[in-house]
Amino acid sequence: MFKLTDLPYGASELEPVISAETIALHHGKHLATYVNNLNNLLPGSGMEGLTLEEIVTKATGGIFNNAGQILNHNLYFEQLQAPSDDNRPIGKIAQAIEEQFGSVDAFKEKFTAAAVTLFGSGWAWLASDSDGTLHILQLPNADNPVTQGLKPLMTMDVWEHAYYVDYRNRRPDHIAAMWSILNWKVIDSRYNG
Ligand code: MN
């Protein structure tokens, strides 16, 4: 049985970038529903006891959709922290970003374009391959970089439920604000892990 993960911060700590109301809906309702759905679908599927990553690389249909969304949201919520204006990448991930994209600003521009132009519901990802090379991906719906053999490092959720309460249709404004609440310690440890 999978459980709804606890947030590593209080529901209002991400304000004003993400409101407590959005956290209550996004974590407390949307993610909780994916967890309940998956727990209802798994018995008899032959996938009981597998990790979310294992399920996502094997499953199709409803099991894939719900397991993928749990994995995606766990990665998303875990990599956030209270806003700070001078928030920047740190450690080896900072070095890799500078080497591969030229600068942090060039990386942010490229990632922002991926997040803003993703058609419909999905996720923009920073992922790494086995060489440590970084990749920016636009993946639809519940997909995750693990389905391509890549390690997910950082993600932004562009399903409307992630931003509609706070930003209405202004997805670019939401993405621009997200840079101030990324926890680069967590993202760097994923890169090094
Ligand atoms: Mn979401």
pLDDT digit string (tens) for 119-154? Answer: 999 999 999 999 999 999 999 999 999 999 999 999
* Cβ contacts of 167 within 8 Å, gap of 6 or more: 173, 174
Per-residue pLDDT averaged across 38-56, rounded? 97
**What is the chain's mean pLDDT, rounded?**
98
Over pLDDT 90: what percentage of the chain? Answer: 100
Distances (CA, A) of 36 to 33, 70, 167: 5, 10, 28
Q: Please tell me the distance from the alpha carbon of residue 7 to that of residue 170, in angstroms, as a whole number.
A: 25
Report in angstroms the alpha-carbon separations of 46 from 61, 70, 160. 14, 19, 33
pLDDT band at 97 (very low <50, low <70, confident <90, very high): very high
What's the pLDDT tens digit per position in 156-170? 999 999 999 999 999
pLDDT at residue 117, as a whole number: 98
- How close is the Cα of 74 to the center of ligand 1, in Å? 10
End-to-end CA distance of the chain: 26
CA–centroid distance, residue 59 to ligand 1 (Å): 20
- Residue pointed to by tokens 């956030």: 80
pLDDT over 70, % of the chain: 100
**How high is the pLDDT of residue 63?**
98
Report CA(123)–ligand 1 centroid distance (Å): 9
Q: State the pLDDT at residue 169.
A: 97
Radius of gyration of the chain from its Cα atoms, rounded to whole angstroms: 16
Identify whether the C-beta of residue 192 lies closer than 8 Å to the C-beta of residue 92.
yes
- Can you tell me whether residue 20 is helix, strand or coil? helix
Output the CA 54–ligand 1 centroid distance in Å. Answer: 21
Whole-number pLDDT of residue 75: 98
How much distance in Å is there from the Cα of 173 to the middle of ligand 1? 17
Q: What are the pLDDT digits (tens) for 163-190? A: 999 999 999 999 999 999 999 999 999 9
For the question of whether the overall pTM of this predicted structure is more than 0.95, the answer is yes
122 C-alpha vs ligand 1 centroid, how far in Å?
9
Q: How far is the CA of 102 from the centre of ligand 1 (A)?
A: 30
What is the CA angle 162-164-166, rounded to 5?
95
The total of other beta-carbon atoms located within 10 Å of residue 182's CB is: 21
Instruction: Tell me how crowded residue 159 is: count the other CB atoms within 10 A of its CB.
Output: 19
186 C-alpha to ligand 1 centroid (Å) = 19
What's residue 48's pLDDT? 95
